[in-house]
Structures are given as C-alpha cells and as structure tokens.
C-alpha cells in the first residue's frame, strides 16, 4: 500500500493533523513517549525524503498507522523487548508524575495491565480500543488475518481481565 501523489503541503497537513494521534498510538505500544515521537518523526521524514506521495489515497491514516507500528516493532526489536513487558524499568503509561496524577487509580491499573501483555496482543488492543479500528482494519494494518485479530483480541482481553482481577 505504498502511497503516491501527495504534495509537500499535503504531507505537512497530514503531519499537523495526525502527528499527535500517531505519537499516542506509538506511546501506548512502546510505553515510551519520546521513542514514539522519534518513530513518528522517522516515518514522516522518510516519506518526505523519498518524496512519497499520497494523493491517490483517500485516507493516508491506515498507511501511517502501519508505518508507525512497524517502526515501533523495530524499536522493540532493537531493545530486545519483544514478548517482554514494554514498561519494564519505566512507568506506564508514559506520563510525567504530574500527568499521572490526573489518571484515576483504576485507569492506571488498566494501563499497567495492558503494558504487561505481549506486544502483539497490546498492539491489537490499542488499535481496537484506542484507535477504534475494525477487525478488518487492524488486520490490514498489522498484516495478519482477521481471524488472528479476533483471537488475539479475545486472548488479550481475557489476559487483561485476569491481570486486573489479580491486582485487586
């Protein structure tokens, strides 16, 4: 799904409108906001340097989500953190102490439980419940079948529920 036909102005517009959303997506997957910013930066920088063009794509967001998730996976691989909790050694969600105070204890527990999930399950749950994607859209973004999305989401939710029960 290589995009084509988008001007620099349009790329900038997409950057302006979508950067925050993409950074948050990356931050939830990586548990690290600055790393997520770097990933999103790299995605746009590569597109700009290569002269990627997006005009023929009605909605560039799916492509960008996929690129960001791939970038996040690279980061996880580099850290050798695949299949390991993304938040080990650092707080999750990636908020400052002041910001974390704005989250209720219940929400912090939910997010901590999410961080303990394997990367693939976390990706699916974040795409489903943060980005609001359908199973088909998640499948296209992650390059897996819809069936795999469904089963991964179910297992992820079950693991999350169990983790929350145990932390009570």
Partner 1 sequence: MISQDEAARTEERLRDALSAAADIMAGSETAAAIAAVPQPPARPTRARAWLIPLAAAACVVAVIAASVALVTTLSRTSGFASLPSSPGSSTCTPLPAAGAGSAPPRFYVTTDVAARQIQLQVRRTSDCAITAVVSLPAGWLLTGGISATADDRTFFAPAFSAKTCPDQPGAIALPHATQTRFFRFAVNDQGRAGRLTMVGPPVSGIVGSVAVSPDGSRIAFNAADGNFVGPGGVCGGGQAEGAAISVVDLTSGKIRTWQTPEMPPAPAGTSVTPGAVSWLADGRTLAVSYVWPTSQTGPQLSMAVAALDTDSDGGSLQAHSHVLWSQPKKCVFCVQEAMISPGGKSLTAIATQQTAQGGRNVLVQISLPSGRYRVLFEAPAGQNSTSATFTQDGSGQHVIVVSGSQAGWIRAGKLLSLQAPGSALKFSFEITTIAW
Binding site for partner 1 (CB under 8 A): 5, 7-13, 15-21, 23-24, 27-28, 33, 37-38, 41, 44-45, 48-49, 55, 93-96, 99, 102-104, 106-108, 110-111, 114, 125-126, 129-130, 154, 157-158, 160-162, 164
**Residue whose C-alpha is closest to residue 64's, from 27, 119, 25:** 25
Q: Which is nearer to partner 1, 7 or 90 (CB)?
A: 7
CB 117, CB 157: distance < 8 Å: no
Q: Which is nearer to partner 1, 142 or 156 (CB)?
A: 156
Cis-peptide, bond into residue 93, ω within 30° of zero: yes
| Residue 127: both structure tokens together | 């795409």
Q: Which is nearer to partner 1, 49 or 166 (CB)?
A: 49
128 DSSP assignment: H
Q: Shortest approach of partner 1 to residue 80 CB, angstroms?
A: 23
CB 60, CB 73: distance < 8 Å: no
Q: Which is nearer to partner 1, 76 or 160 (CB)?
A: 160
CB 69, CB 142: distance < 8 Å: yes
Q: Shortest approach of partner 1 to residue 27 CB, angstroms?
A: 6
Distance from the Cα of residue 42 to its chain's centroid: 15
Q: Shortest approach of partner 1 to residue 26 CB, angstroms?
A: 10
Rounded to the nearest 10°, the torsion over CA 43, 45, 48, 50 is -80
Q: Shortest approach of partner 1 to residue 114 CB, angstroms?
A: 7
Q: Which is nearer to partner 1, 103 or 144 (CB)?
A: 103
């Amino acid at each position: 799904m290589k995009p084509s036909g988008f001007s620099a102005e349009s790329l900038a517009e997409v950057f302006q409108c979508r950067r925050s959303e993409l950074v948050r997506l990356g931050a939830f997957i990586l548990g690290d906001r600055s790393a997520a910013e770097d990933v999103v930066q790299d995605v746009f920088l590569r597109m700009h340097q290569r002269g990627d063009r997006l005009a023929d794509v009605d909605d560039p967001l799916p492509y960008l989500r996929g690129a960001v998730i791939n970038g996040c996976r690279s980061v996880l691989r580099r850290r050798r953190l695949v299949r390991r909790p993304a938040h080990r050694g650092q707080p999750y969600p990636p908020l400052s102490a002041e910001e974390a105070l704005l989250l209720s204890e219940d929400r912090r527990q939910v997010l901590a439980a999410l961080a303990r999930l394997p990367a693939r399950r976390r990706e699916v749950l974040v795409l489903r419940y943060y980005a609001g994607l359908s199973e088909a859209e998640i499948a296209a973004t992650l390059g897996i079948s819809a069936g795999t999305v469904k089963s991964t989401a179910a297992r992820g939710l079950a693991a999350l529920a169990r983790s929350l029960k145990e932390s009570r």
